[in-house]
Amino acid sequence: MAYNIKDRDTDRIIREFATLKGKPILDCIREACEHEIQRERLKTPLWERVQPLLDRIARAPKPDRR
């Protein structure tokens, strides 16, 4: 299956990446996509990142509002 990149900037980036890696373009595209898929899968949901802060706020002393 062939891919035709029509965007010049994207083509330039792919070719630069392949040159830096010293690998064929297809290998670099596959590697980059696999890396991004793994990164997306490992992302911590916002709720899990914020929860420790919310817990800390809940434990903080409450100001006397009299």
User: 11, 5 in Cβ contact below 8 A?
Assistant: yes
Q: How many Å apart are CA 25 and CA 32, to the nearest integer?
A: 11
| pLDDT for 33 beyond 80 | yes
- Decide: residue 29, CB within 10 A, 0-12 exposed, 13-18 middle, 19+ buried: middle
- Answer with the residue of higher pLDDT: 5 or 27: 27
Helix 8-21 to helix 25-42 angle (10° resolution) is 100
Sign of torsion over alpha carbons 23, 24, 29, 35 = negative
pTM, 2 dp: 0.62
pLDDT at 35: 96
Residue 2: pLDDT band (50, 70, 90) is confident
